Structure 1
Amino acid sequence: MLMLRAIIRPERASEVLEKLSEAGYPAVTRIDVVGRGKQKGVKVGDVYYDEIPKEMLLFIINDEDEETMVDIIMKTAKTGEQGAFGDGKIFVSPVEKAYTISSSSETL
């Protein structure tokens, strides 16, 4: 079992979720977040923005689904601007256990 966290531009989140759902991955936790990458924010004119709005999509998946889901997110979340900052990151971590609260049983 894996935890896949995708931090992406908010304007791309709905399309990413639609593509994942079409591919058979409808379950998601969606969280509004702010942050900045290694570019340390964005300066527009005289205004400096160091907290950029993003969406974090959180999935618990089977190991064999990682490549497919990462591929869908990468293709759908990318803005198309080669070398542009801010399209996001995907993090994959192992999950030892998961429990369903309503049934008090281990899942996946």
Structure 2
Amino acid sequence: MKMIVALIQPNKLDSLRDALKEISVERFTVSDAEGYGRQRGHSATFRGVEYQTTLLRKISIELVVNDDFLERALSTIENVARTGQDGCIGDGKIFVMPVEQTIQIGGAARGPSAV
């Protein structure tokens, strides 16, 4: 089993949710996140005062998949979250980590069947 953590542009969330549902991924966690990377922030104006924003808003999506499903989930996330044909700085990142055990708290399922 693998845990996928994808940091994406907020405007890509609905499209990604729909695409994941199409490939039968219906269980994941979504969180607001802020990050600092190669974009280095941007200038913004609030009530006539210009200020520098260094942390940019992102969405964090966490999901656990069985090993045989990993590549399908990764390519779906990558294709949907990318902006433009070749992608852009600020599109986000995808991290993949091993999961040793999964336990369904409300039931008796453990391991791959709990995913």
Aligned partner of 2:104 in structure 1 is: 100
Whole-angstrom distance in 1 between the partners of 2:78 and 2:37: 17
Larger radius of gyration: 2
- The answer as to 2:79 corresponding to 1:75 is yes
TM-score normalised by L of structure 2: 0.83
Whole-angstrom distance in 2 between the partners of 1:83 and 1:13: 16
Give per-residue Cα distances to partners, 1:59-94, cap 9 Å, x unaligned: 010111111111111111111064621100000000
Aligned partner of 1:55 in structure 2 is: 59
- Residues 1:105 and 1:22: Cα distance change in structure 2 (over 3 Å): closer
What are the ranges of 5 or more consecutive residues in structure 1 without an aligned counterpart?
A: none
Whole-angstrom distance in 2 between the partners of 1:30 and 1:65: 20
Structure 1: which amino acid aligns with 2:52? Y
TM-aligned CA deviation for residue 18 of structure 1: 0.3
Aligned partner of 2:88 in structure 1 is: 84
The ranges of structure 1 where at least 4 consecutive aligned residues each deviate by more than 6 angstroms after the TM superposition are none
CA contact (8 A) 2:4 2:96 kept: yes
TM-aligned CA deviation for residue 104 of structure 1: 5.2
RMSD: 1.9
Percent of aligned positions with the same letter in both sequences?
A: 31
